[in-house]
Amino acid sequence: MTYTAIGVLAVLIAVIADLFVFRTRLISRKIFWVSYLIIVFFQFITNGMFTGFQIVKYNGEAIIGSTSPADSAPPFFGDGRIAFAPVEDLLFGFSLVLLSLVLWVFWGRRGIDRVPMSGPPIWRKPPD
């Protein structure tokens, strides 16, 4: 499977989990998209640093676009890249953020959170 196919599959799984499995319907809310825009801005920065400085390199056969020669950095924009990183990274980032928030909301609705909000875990008894 290519990086592209796995990225698309990850988005489909996250969206199905949001809409049909956990029924949180986050992608239908404006607040989700505003929050995601903030997150994706920082994703561009970190992805750009990792791929622009060639800390992370991608196989051109597994992504949209191609790889650059070994002695040059990938393009900032174009050839299947945004801020040096392959567009597939956006797919994975979206899936990660959406699925994390879906689970957060799902478990929060069921009362799975700490009470009290600070201090030792609730399963630990305070000293006598």
Residues 30-88 have pLDDT tens digits of 999 999 999 999 999 998 899 888 888 887 788 887 766 655 677 888 888 888 888 99
Tokens of 33: 């998209």
Are 62 and 3 within 8 A, CB to CB?
yes
Instruction: Say which amino acid occupies 38.
Output: I
Global pTM value: 0.78
Q: Is the pLDDT of residue 116 over 60?
A: no
CA–CA gap between residue 37 and residue 24 (Å, rounded): 19
9, 59, 56, 88 alpha-carbon torsion, rounded to 10°? -30
